[in-house]
Amino acid sequence: MKKGLMVLLGCMLCWLMVTSLAWSEEGVTGTEIHIGQWGPQTGPAAAWGSVARGTGDYFKWINEIGGIHGRKIVYHMFDDGYNPAKTLAGVKDLQENTGIFAWASGVGTSPGLAVKDYLMERKIPWVGPAAGSLHWVTPPHKYLFAVYPLYYNEARALVRYAVEEMGKKKVAVAYLNDEYGKNGLRGAIEELEYHGMEVVARVPVEKSDSDMKPHVMQLRKSEADMVLLWTTVSHAVRIVGTAKAMNFAPQFMSTSTCSDFPLMTHISKGLWEGVICATFGELPDSDHPQMQQYKKEVFEQFAAKEERWGMFYAAGIIFIEPMVEALKNAGPDLTREKFVAEMEKINGFKGVGPEVNFKPFDPEDMYSRQGTRQTFLVKCLADGKAEKLTDWITLD
């Protein structure tokens, strides 16, 4: 009897030790993994808010099919209004008062820059920022894994197509006057230099700008035959609409952040037809089997009634597919270091976005943390559907 009691007590002690170890990591308990994200549900970038909602529904689906080694993902999302000060305040509040294991996605270059140092100094993993900024990987950071194709490369691919395939001679750029817009401008400038050309007009757009007539007048004065738009959705639509009213009809091209064609068609009242964009994932209305699975099992089961199945919603899944893969591979004894080690092992991963490849951390190698190098180009048709112009393009 006494021997049996001692064995029982010993087993209980071992269980308590294992349980204590498993629960010692911030944001992890025996039954939960706490993941955070910010996303603009209001403000100038509210059109991108569905990215965060798509992530939330994807996590609901993961939980529905068993979670991660028996743990449910507890998702904490807040609206930062695309305001970097609100982003930092919200991240600090959740991190310090709730305890977040890792951060997923998060829309915007400027909002992301507001929290990058805070997260990296505390060795808190951040996977799949919803912005293709060079700032994430120049230099690279051990705990930051970028999945979005670089804006720099998207701009290069668009300019290359305009020059080499369409014969365009005069390229102008309208760009949001922040780090997001400047990333696109830089790619355009360097690709044009490669072709012995220069940008004929660089037109900055402020977040508060609403009247696009002065901007379009500058673009028209340059006689541009291609205008690259690296702005918010609302600014891009206003520029195209104002250009139409002013009888200025260049080929408009734009970043993946404006590649949700049904949305862009609706907002522009059809004026987005003919615009060419880069994009970062399989088209939502394609017959890609995994995209169709997500539509049926994630969107149709968990999305709110007013939600729309589209590229931005799907982006909330695309940017964190590798995160879920690494959480699974890290095993039941989940720690941040084990998670980071599994993220580094992801190689040749193909979900519904571009191929993802990471490496062991190398402070001299941006591609140890820039997981994707691919994009492809699509053209908006009259009904908001997309015509695929290229296959996946790989750029360094």
pLDDT tens digits along 185-202: 999 999 999 999 999 999
* pLDDT on residue 3: 54
Q: Pairing relation of β-strands 386-388 and 374-380?
A: antiparallel
Structural class in CATH, domain 32-149+287-361: alpha beta
* pLDDT on residue 335: 98
Mean pLDDT of all residues in 379-386: 95
* pLDDT on residue 154: 97
- Rounded to an integer, what distance in angstroms lies between the CA atom of residue 216 and that of residue 214? 6
Decide which of 3.40.1190.20, 3.40.50.2300, 1.10.10.10, 3.30.1360.120 is the CATH code for 151-279+377-394: 3.40.50.2300
Q: pLDDT-based confidence at 396, cuts 50/70/90? A: confident
Mean pLDDT of all residues in 168-189: 96
Q: Show me where the domains of the chain are located.
A: 32-149+287-361, 151-279+377-394
The closest of 290, 311, 363 to 148, measured between CA atoms, is 311
Query: Is 231 within 8 Å of 208 (Cβ atoms)?
Result: no
* pLDDT on residue 270: 97
Q: pLDDT-based confidence at 24, cuts 50/70/90? A: confident
Residue 143 or 11, more confident:
143
pLDDT digits (tens, 9 = 90+) for 37-76: 999 999 988 989 999 999 999 999 999 999 999 999 999 9
Q: 151-279+377-394: same fold as 32-149+287-361?
A: yes
Query: Is 250 within 8 Å of 243 (Cβ atoms)?
Result: yes
Per the prediction, the chain carries an average pLDDT of 93
- CB-CB neighbours of 241 under 10 Å: 17
- CB-CB neighbours of 232 under 10 Å: 26
Q: What percent of the chain has pLDDT over 90?
A: 91
Structural element, H or E, at residue 2: helix 2-22
